[in-house]
Chains A and B, each alone.
Chain A
Amino acid sequence: MYKIVSLLLLGAFCAYGQGVSADSLQARIQKLEKEIRSIKQQQEADALEKLRREAGEAANISQKDESKNKVFRTGQRSLQAINPEMSFTGDAYALSVLNGKGYNDAERSGMGYRVLGLHVQAGLDPFSLAKAVVEFNPEEGVEFAEVYVTWNNLIKGVTLTAGKFRQQFGVLNRWHDHALDQYDYPLALTTILGEEGLNQTGISVDWLMPGIWADAQTLTMQLTNGSNEQLFSGEAFSFPALLVHLKNYYDINDATYFELGLSGMSGSNDGRIGLPRRDASTVLAGVDATLFWEPVNRSHYTSFLWRSALFYADKRQSDLQIKAAGVYSYMEYRLNERWYAGLRWDYTQPFEMDNSDKSITQWAPYVTWWQSHWARFRLEYIYAAAHNTEAPDNTLRLQLTWAVGPHKHERY
């Protein structure tokens, strides 16, 4: 650069020395200055281009395998990646039956496991999803707890399910027992809907309705075999049962929601053989309510849940009639990242005739400690009292529930 400028100045000086006019000299100087600028710009552009090239080289990742000695392998017998999503859940306990003897007809103090569940799910094809839950139970052996296929794409907002499934009567009947907030289903549920709750084979249509009087409403209709032995036809389940559930969901604010559900169900029962339909029918009704609070930015540390439900059953067989009602209510508070504490109250009439002055009441305080998202301990005490009927024994139970694999709950 110095040389160029010197040459230009020398040229200008020579020109001056040769008697060139001042104007002409000025023009030549300007021309030369322009040339200098142009050369400088070109040099800068070249430098920038070089920089960009170097930057490009610095940013390039070249890991191309140049080896010619490749080994070729097939993946045709290694398609395990498309196996279904599988997980196991375990549910074990240590129990103390507090009746002085340490046992009763149903349970004995000691340790045992309630169930080992195998949960499998996968997309069947572009149109449907299959789910199966197989339970290994020490008393009942292997049982298909749920096996069903769901179609989500039939009509916008409508989901169709076919198979055996836990039914949408209230909230908790839909859940598996390892997912419950207490060890057992509420007493009203097991007393009125049967020990295992409502779990029958049929079809279910769920319609996510346009919100009319709530932020979300779902209407569920389920037509199933009436295979529930206590309420319907048991083994003679060719008489169907129809369930209708309307869920009304309200977002009170970002942290709080309220949900109100109404359930109704009707079907013929085991007195249907030989009797007119109206003389052998069972009608169920239920109301459930949930209030849940969990601040969005404290969801690891605190929450409050209140859930209650009322069950009513009316089973007629000719002149015989069982009417029973039950209710539960529980509250649970999350104390911190690992600890929850709760209390459930149960009240139910026994599912038998002439029960108008009979009832059982239970109180179940409990604490739950989460070791991690996949392992949980729970200590639960059950105090039971009865009026004109036999009360269950009081118990103290330590429960361990765990899940391996991608198991997750879809509760909210």
Chain B
Amino acid sequence: MKKLFLFMMLFSVLHAGTKLSVVTTLSTYADIARKVGGDRVDVHAIVKGNQDAHFVRPKPSYAVMLQQADVFVTTGLDLELWAPTIIDRSGNPNIRSGQPGFVAAHDGIELLDKPTVLSRSEGGLHIYGNPHITTSPLNWKIIAENIVIGLEKNDPEGAAYYRERLKAFNEETDQRLFGAELVKLMGGPLLTRLANKGTLIQFLKSKSYKGKKMIDYLGGWMKEGLSFRGKTIVAYHKNWIYFQHLFGLHVLDYVEPKPGIPPTPRHVKSLIEEMRKQNVRVLMAANYFSAEKVNDICDKVGAVPVMVPMGVGGAPGVDDVFALADYWVAHLKKVFEQVNAK
């Protein structure tokens, strides 16, 4: 028995040694990497789910993580501007931009909010487009595909395994997004294309099948989201744009006068007046922003705050991407029910 135990220990140590070491910037990328990488990967994230990815300090311990990494997953845009510093400090040539161990998660995602004026007078603008791509489950599938490509490059023997897990991940994402019945009828890729174009709900409402409106086949987060579709909110920062696009939310204005610029008293005053005038009663913010500020604005206009994590692990129970989207949708739905009941 003792020998067997020692053998199992040795086997697990050897097996652990063969795992690909994956380091990601965001915790959401880490969760997706775990889902598609399964037992063949050992994944660590730098940014916590309740942390602002813009402002992470390039600590030496992150450089050590990257030094030992086979694969590094980052957005690849101007979100994690601290990433090149820790890549340089790690001295790991395999994870530099363009090398097999480097994965740019955004590749293939149609970026929204591309600036037309490149000037700091617009605040902390993102020159390639909005980099907060993880707020739409539609993008997760592209991110997962990109991660799998990175894993395959560094572990070709595991390619079939990764592809199989990717397929399962995509299927689960589709079912959770659109509901199993609609996915069975229309297929995930087609529904994804419609949702990306912003025409899914309109299409489903205009068509029938087997004597039943297509919209009645809709399930998952998109169905839940119908309760707040077309509604107007105020957001703290421009980091929900992909979520808004998917769920058809309108944003009246932001608490920040320009992206990355702390709210000024004058801007907050005018925002409150506008919220009253337009009867906007929901304020959505990532939970790393000031709850005091959000609550203060909400108190003044009788609005309800929705403070949610941006990433996996950012709140109790938000242990994976599916729980994260559950959290976003459930909280918004509940808040709009509250507002409508007033």
Segment of A50-58, A171-179, A229-237 engaged in the interface with chain B: A50-58
Residues of B253-278 contacting chain A, CB below 8 A: 260-262
Segment of A99-107, A184-192, A247-255 engaged in the interface with chain B: A247-255
The list of the 6 closest CB pairs from A to B, nearest first, reads A216-B60, A59-B193, A412-B57, A297-B50, A153-B93, A157-B91
Task: Please state if A257 and B59 are interface contacts (CB–CB under 8 Å).
Answer: yes
In the complex formed, the residue of B with least CB distance to A211 is B64
Instruction: Known contacts A59-B193, A373-B260, A410-B58; decide if A208 and B85 are in contact (CB<8 Å).
Output: no
Is A391 an interface residue, CB under 8 A from the partner? no
In the complex formed, the residue of B with least CB distance to A404 is B120
Is B330 an interface residue, CB under 8 A from the partner? no
Instruction: Known contacts A51-B209, A155-B91; decide if A208 and B262 are in contact (CB<8 Å).
Output: no
Residues of B79-101 contacting chain A, CB below 8 A: 81-82, 85, 87-93, 96, 98
Is B169 an interface residue, CB under 8 A from the partner? no
In the complex formed, the residue of A with least CB distance to B202 is A58
Is B290 an interface residue, CB under 8 A from the partner? yes
Task: Please state if A48 and B185 are interface contacts (CB–CB under 8 Å).
Answer: yes
Is B2 an interface residue, CB under 8 A from the partner? no
Note all chain A residues with C-beta closer than 8 A to B298: none
Q: Smallest Cβ distance from B302 to chain A, in angstroms?
A: 25
Partner of B60, one of A52, A159, A208, A300: A208
Note all chain A residues with C-beta closer than 8 A to B260: 372-373
In the complex formed, the residue of A with least CB distance to B288 is A297
Q: Smallest Cβ distance from B114 to chain A, in angstroms?
A: 16
Task: Please state if A156 and B262 are interface contacts (CB–CB under 8 Å).
Answer: no
Instruction: Known contacts A48-B209, A215-B64, A373-B124; decide if A300 and B290 are in contact (CB<8 Å).
Output: yes
Task: Please state if B64 and A152 are interface contacts (CB–CB under 8 Å).
Answer: no
In the complex formed, the residue of B with least CB distance to A301 is B290
- How many residues of chain A get a CB closer than 8 Å to chain B's CBs? 50
Partner of A337, one of B98, B287, B290, B314: B290
Q: List 23 A-B contacts (CB under 8 A).
A: A48-B209, A54-B207, A55-B191, A55-B194, A129-B88, A152-B93, A152-B96, A153-B91, A215-B61, A216-B60, A247-B60, A249-B61, A296-B288, A297-B48, A297-B288, A372-B123, A372-B260, A372-B262, A373-B260, A374-B120, A408-B81, A410-B82, A412-B60
In the complex formed, the residue of A with least CB distance to B91 is A157
Is B51 an interface residue, CB under 8 A from the partner? yes
Task: Please state if B61 and A216 are interface contacts (CB–CB under 8 Å).
Answer: yes
Task: Please state if B60 and A156 are interface contacts (CB–CB under 8 Å).
Answer: no
Is B199 an interface residue, CB under 8 A from the partner? yes
Is A314 an interface residue, CB under 8 A from the partner? no
Task: Please state if B120 and A208 are interface contacts (CB–CB under 8 Å).
Answer: no
Q: Smallest Cβ distance from A90 to chain B, in angstroms?
A: 14
Partner of A297, one of B90, B93, B207, B287: B287
Task: Please state if A208 and B64 are interface contacts (CB–CB under 8 Å).
Answer: yes
Is B52 an interface residue, CB under 8 A from the partner? yes
Residues of A40-78 contacting chain B, CB below 8 A: 44, 47-48, 51-52, 54-56, 58-59, 61
Task: Please state if B92 and A156 are interface contacts (CB–CB under 8 Å).
Answer: yes
Partner of A44, one of B98, B210, B214: B210
A373→B81 CA distance, assembly (Å)? 14
Task: Please state if A412 and B59 are interface contacts (CB–CB under 8 Å).
Answer: yes
Task: Please state if A59 and B67 are interface contacts (CB–CB under 8 Å).
Answer: no
For the residues of A in contact with B, the DSSP-based class is: mixed
Task: Please state if B48 and A159 are interface contacts (CB–CB under 8 Å).
Answer: no
In the complex formed, the residue of A with least CB distance to B194 is A59
Interface size class of B (residues with CB under 8 A): 35 or more
- Contact digits for A258-295, partner B, Cβ 8 Å, 1 yes 0 no: 01000000000000000000000000000000000010
Task: Please state if A218 and B60 are interface contacts (CB–CB under 8 Å).
Answer: yes
Note all chain B residues with C-beta closer than 8 A to A58: 194, 197, 199, 203
Is A298 an interface residue, CB under 8 A from the partner? yes
Q: Smallest Cβ distance from B22 to chain A, in angstroms?
A: 18
Q: Smallest Cβ distance from A53 to chain B, in angstroms?
A: 10
In the complex formed, the residue of A with least CB distance to B87 is A152
Note all chain B residues with C-beta closer than 8 A to A158: 91
Is B289 an interface residue, CB under 8 A from the partner? yes
Task: Please state if A159 and B91 are interface contacts (CB–CB under 8 Å).
Answer: yes
What 14 new A-B contacts, CB under 8 Å, besides A47-B210, A215-B60?
Answer: A52-B187, A59-B190, A129-B88, A152-B91, A152-B96, A157-B90, A157-B92, A208-B64, A251-B61, A296-B48, A301-B290, A337-B262, A338-B262, A372-B123
Q: Smallest Cβ distance from A51 to chain B, in angstroms?
A: 6
Instruction: Known contacts A55-B186, A300-B55; decide if A254 and B194 are in contact (CB<8 Å).
Output: no
Note all chain A residues with C-beta closer than 8 A to B290: 300-301, 337
Q: Smallest Cβ distance from B190 to chain A, in angstroms?
A: 5
Q: Smallest Cβ distance from A326 to chain B, in angstroms?
A: 26
Note all chain A residues with C-beta closer than 8 A to B196: 59
A338→B58 CA distance, assembly (Å)? 21
In the complex formed, the residue of B with least CB distance to A405 is B120
Partner of B90, one of A208, A372, A373: A208
- Contact digits for B28-63, partner A, Cβ 8 Å, 1 yes 0 no: 000000000000000000001011100101111101
A51→B187 CA distance, assembly (Å)? 12
A55→B194 CA distance, assembly (Å)? 7
- Contact digits for A212-226, partner B, Cβ 8 Å, 1 yes 0 no: 000110100000000
Q: Smallest Cβ distance from B77 to chain A, in angstroms?
A: 13
Is A150 an interface residue, CB under 8 A from the partner? yes
Note all chain A residues with C-beta closer than 8 A to B48: 254, 296-297
Task: Please state if B59 and A55 are interface contacts (CB–CB under 8 Å).
Answer: no
A51→B214 CA distance, assembly (Å)? 10
In the complex formed, the residue of A with least CB distance to B88 is A152
Residues of A391-412 contacting chain B, CB below 8 A: 404, 408, 410-412
